[in-house]
Amino acid sequence: MKIKFRVWDKRNNRMIMPRKFATIIPVLDFNGNLGVMDTYKNWHWHGIVPEDEYELMLFTGLKDKNGREIYEGDIYSETEYRHGKRTATYWKVVRNKLEYGFNLVANIEKQYRGEKYREDVYLPLRAINGRKMEYAGNIYENPELLD
């Protein structure tokens, strides 16, 4: 698997995808710090970007059923019909730091003895292609989906 990532630019509120790195090459040092090299200006080094100005999202190594690369922080929707009502569940792709893999997590409403409560439910990421899930956005551009 290739190690790839995308970058959320907090200063400009935009996603920088790997294919957009045409003249700007992100460089990671051994401590995980992001640096920027500009190939358009004769390989000019812009230096290390302050840590509070970006978020790195790692490529999971998987693609969804439509061929879209799945990154940490992506949101997928799953539509179900229950009792004649259409409900959408939104699943977020998260890194499982204990197992060095990725999971899907959704905060789902449940009921126990008449009391309603919400609980995080986890699925392995590979379940994304076995279920009817569609890409809905990501946690930075579409945070309202997770409310």
Report residue 22: phi and psi, to 5°: -60, -50
- When mean pLDDT is compared across 4-18, 40-54, 85-99, the lowest value belongs to 40-54
Domain positions in the chain are 5-57, 71-146
Mean pLDDT for the chain overall: 83
Q: How confident is the model at residue 26 (pLDDT cuts 50, 70, 90)?
A: confident
Nearest to 89 by CA among 109, 63, 116: 109
pLDDT number for residue 1: 62
Residues 37-89: tens digit of each pLDDT: 777 666 666 667 777 888 888 899 898 888 999 999 999 999 888 778 888 88
pLDDT reported for residue 44: 66
Quote the pLDDT of residue 99.
Answer: 73
3-state secondary structure (DSSP) of residue 85: strand
Calculate the dihedral angle through the C-alpha atoms of 50, 55, 60, 61, rounding to the nearest 10 degrees: -50
> For residues 12 and 1, what is the distance between their CA atoms, to the nearest angstrom?
30
Q: Is the pLDDT of residue 125 over 60?
A: yes
On the question of pLDDT at 134 being above 80, the answer is: yes
